[in-house]
């Protein structure tokens, strides 16, 4: 492919999709996510059947199965970033932002579980960049939460943030089974801020 032809192809790829085309693409991606969540080896024909479109329509939008998976991964990563941004993590009160980020992220992780797990492998450049940006946002949110007194001043923030990620991961698995994401978000934040022990239990451990 010549440089000029490559540039033309890249320009075409960057052009906004028509509204009807965008709806078709989203329908296919949503169907693919549903199918892949239960059968990671699913075929393009199965995606088409789940989306209610002809197989030729799927192939017209996505040249190969790998191209569809890449688009699905990028789409989910963008939904992830939008979910975090919509919680206003840099402007809302830290506790409010922490809860809203948690609830929003759980919805994305539940709705796009296959694609989100694929994005976590860091093999998709756009998804890896987006996830790095979200991690930076989370670092800032946890710093604000500590400064506001939501988190203890002596807590190690990096450790706390990684524990938070682990809690979200477990809650997302429960959400995929039909759990209420708002209730799960409350459980995650409550567990993070209160822990599982009691003051009396901790006081009883004289060696601590």
Q: What is the pLDDT along the chain (208 residues), one digit of tens a residue?
A: 443 443 444 444 445 556 677 889 999 999 999 999 999 999 999 999 999 999 999 999 999 999 999 999 999 999 999 999 999 999 999 999 999 999 999 999 998 989 988 876 667 889 999 999 999 999 999 999 999 999 999 999 999 999 999 999 999 988 877 778 999 999 999 999 988 776 666 566 545 4
Helix, strand, coil % over all residues of the chain, rounded to 5: 75, 0, 25
For residue 206, count other CB atoms closer than 10 A to its CB.
5
For residue 129, count other CB atoms closer than 10 A to its CB.
13
Q: How far apart are CA 103 and CA 123, in angstroms?
A: 26
For the chain, report the end-to-end CA distance as a whole number of angstroms. Answer: 67
User: Is there a contact between 166 and 120 (Cβ–Cβ < 8 Å)?
Assistant: no
């Amino acid at each position: 492919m010549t440089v000029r032809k490559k540039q033309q192809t890249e320009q075409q790829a960057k052009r906004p999709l028509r509204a009807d085309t965008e709806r078709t693409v989203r329908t296919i991606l949503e169907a693919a996510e549903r199918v892949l969540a239960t059968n990671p080896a699913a075929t393009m024909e199965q995606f088409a059947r789940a989306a209610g479109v002809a197989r030729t329509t799927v192939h017209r939008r996505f040249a190969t199965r790998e191209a569809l998976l890449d688009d699905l991964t990028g789409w989910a990563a963008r939904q992830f970033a939008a979910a975090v941004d919509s919680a206003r993590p840099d402007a809302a009160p830290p506790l409010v932002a922490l809860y809203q980020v948690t609830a929003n992220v759980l919805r994305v992780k539940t709705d796009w579980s296959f694609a989100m797990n694929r994005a976590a492998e860091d093999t998709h450049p756009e998804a890896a960049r987006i996830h790095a940006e979200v991690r930076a946002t989370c670092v800032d949110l946890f710093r604000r939460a500590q400064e506001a007194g939501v988190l203890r001043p002596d807590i190690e923030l990096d450790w706390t943030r990684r524990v938070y990620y682990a809690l979200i991961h477990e809650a997302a698995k429960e959400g995929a089974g039909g759990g209420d994401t708002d209730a799960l978000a409350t459980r995650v934040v409550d567990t993070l801020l209160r822990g599982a022990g009691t003051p009396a239990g901790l006081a009883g451990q004289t060696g601590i």
